[in-house]
């Protein structure tokens, strides 16, 4: 069986782990297929994908718990989850952390925003530390660890943010992130001020060049880096196909297009390796059942992608 522990993955690794942001089981599957070792549940993209609304405090614990359980149970790589401000005060944080750990999250990111509708406003330090203590108590004895996060602006509040993360580390948070940093100079400054494991958040390009590379930030103590691309990529593909298909008033474009997988036709089912499910069932029944869609044979799993064992995905 696959080891889904993010803590052990980081502890044993000699490089920075890149964890793309995901929002559902399909995006998680895509991340796993291409070979990423871990992933981060994006609160903002869950809000858009699950509820159809922007990231403005609409997502609640039930939403995050539900999708966390689905992703963690159907993927072989570890999932860290953004739990926003913990959905309330210390008791709410304690409850949220316990439930998300039981749902399969392997790390929880807890921010110091004072209001989900205005994430630039910071909680008073002591109020945030109370939440950190609650989360740590809830996660004690589990295989899920805390990523303390500050929303402090690096241009005007860098030292405040670093001090909050230094103290969170002292309280026991295994990882910290100053979530608005974006450059190598920012990373160097944080590295001087904050000990322990650090996450570089939402890496992006600046003027057409990578803001940082994993090789640059790993020696500074940044052993986890997140990035966004899955929802934009999904929307891009759906809109591209949609523009052609609405013009044709049919599915000809989609059925004929050779995509990154080489799979033809209108279904993404082959990417989810349906025959491995049948192989597992056949172990129990002794039969030779094959998977079909309305009687139509499904293409084989495409070459060149990571094929994890069914026992790690079901």
Query: Which whole number is the average pLDDT over 261-265?
Result: 84
Residue 263: pLDDT band (50, 70, 90) is: confident
Question: Percent of the chain having pLDDT more than 90?
Answer: 89
Ordered structural domains, the chain, with CATH? 6-232 (3.20.20.60), 258-312 (no CATH)
Query: What are the tens digits of pLDDT across the range 18-58?
Result: 999 999 999 999 999 999 999 999 999 999 999 999 999 89
What is the reported pLDDT for 266? 84
What is the reported pLDDT for 118? 66
What is the reported pLDDT for 264? 82
Q: For strands 209-210 and 222-227, give the pairing.
A: unpaired
Residue 259: pLDDT band (50, 70, 90) is: confident
Residue with tokens 């929880």, as numbered in its chain: 108
Contact call for residues 203 and 226 (beta carbons, < 8 A): yes
Structure tokens at 231: 């929802």
Query: Which whole number is the average pLDDT over 256-277?
Result: 89
Indicate the range of 139-148, 177-186, 287-296 predicted with least confidence: 287-296
Q: What is the mean pLDDT of the chain?
A: 95
Query: What are the tens digits of pLDDT across the range 50-87?
Result: 999 999 989 999 999 999 999 999 999 999 999 999 99
Structure tokens at 82: 């953004």
Query: What are the tens digits of pLDDT across the range 151-197?
Result: 999 999 999 999 999 999 999 999 999 999 999 999 999 999 999 99
The torsion angles phi and psi of 122, rounded to 5 degrees, stand at -95, 140
Question: Percent of the chain having pLDDT more than 70?
Answer: 98
Strand partners, 18: 225
The pTM for the full model equals: 0.94
Secondary structure in 3-state letters for the chain: CCCCCHHHHHHHCCCCEEEEEECCHHHHHHHHHHCCCCEEECHHHHHHHHHCCCCCCCCCHHHHHHHHHHHHHCCCCCEEEECCCCCCCHHHHHHHHHHHHHHCCCEEEEECECCCCCCCCECCHHHHHHHHHHHHHHHCCCCCEEEEEECCCHHHHHHHHHHHHHHHHHHCCCEEEECCCCCHHHHHHHHHHCCCEEEECCCCEECCEECCCHHHHHHHCEEEEEECCHHHHHHHHHHHHHHHHHHHCCCHHHHHCCCCCCCCCCCCHHHHCHHHHHHHHHHHHCCCCCCEECCEECCCCCCCCCCCCHHHCC
What is the reported pLDDT for 114? 79
CA 114 – CA 43 distance, rounded (Å): 16
Query: What are the tens digits of pLDDT across the range 84-129?
Result: 999 999 999 999 999 999 999 999 999 999 776 666 689 999 999 9
What is the reported pLDDT for 8? 98
CA atoms within 13 A on the CB side of 234: 18
Contact call for residues 26 and 237 (beta carbons, < 8 A): no
Contact call for residues 255 and 266 (beta carbons, < 8 A): yes
């Amino acid at each position: 069986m696959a080891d889904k522990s993010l803590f052990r993955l980081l502890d044993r690794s000699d490089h920075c782990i890149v964890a793309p942001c995901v929002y559902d089981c399909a995006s998680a599957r895509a991340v796993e297929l291409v070979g990423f070792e871990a992933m981060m549940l994006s609160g903002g993209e869950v809000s858009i994908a699950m509820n159809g609304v922007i990231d403005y405090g609409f997502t609640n614990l039930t939403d995050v718990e539900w999708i966390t359980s689905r992703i963690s149970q159907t993927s072989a790589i570890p999932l860290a989850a953004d739990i926003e401000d913990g959905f309330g005060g210390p008791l709410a944080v304690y409850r949220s952390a316990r439930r998300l750990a039981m749902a399969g999250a392997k790390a929880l990111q807890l921010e110091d925003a004072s209001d989900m509708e205005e994430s630039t406003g910071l909680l008073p330090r002591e109020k945030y530390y109370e939440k950190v203590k609650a989360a740590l108590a809830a996660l004690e004895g589990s295989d899920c660890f805390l990523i303390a996060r500050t929303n402090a602006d690096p241009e005007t509040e860098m030292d405040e943010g670093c001090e909050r993360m230094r103290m969170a580390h002292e309280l026991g948070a295994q990882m910290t992130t100053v979530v608005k940093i974006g450059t190598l100079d920012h990373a160097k400054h944080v590295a001087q001020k904050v000990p322990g494991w650090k996450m570089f958040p939402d890496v992006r390009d600046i003027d057409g060049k990578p803001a940082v590379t994993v090789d640059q930030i790993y020696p500074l103590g940044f052993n986890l880096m997140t990035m966004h691309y899955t929802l934009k990529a999904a929307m891009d593909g759906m809109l591209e196909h949609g523009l052609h298909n609405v013009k044709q008033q049919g599915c000809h474009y989609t059925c004929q297009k050779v995509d990154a997988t080489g799979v033809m036709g209108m279904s993404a089912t082959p990417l989810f390796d349906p025959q491995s499910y049948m192989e597992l069932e056949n172990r129990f029944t002794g039969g030779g059942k094959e998977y079909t869609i309305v009687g139509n044979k499904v293409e084989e799993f495409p070459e060149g992608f990571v094929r994890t064992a069914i026992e790690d995905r079901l």
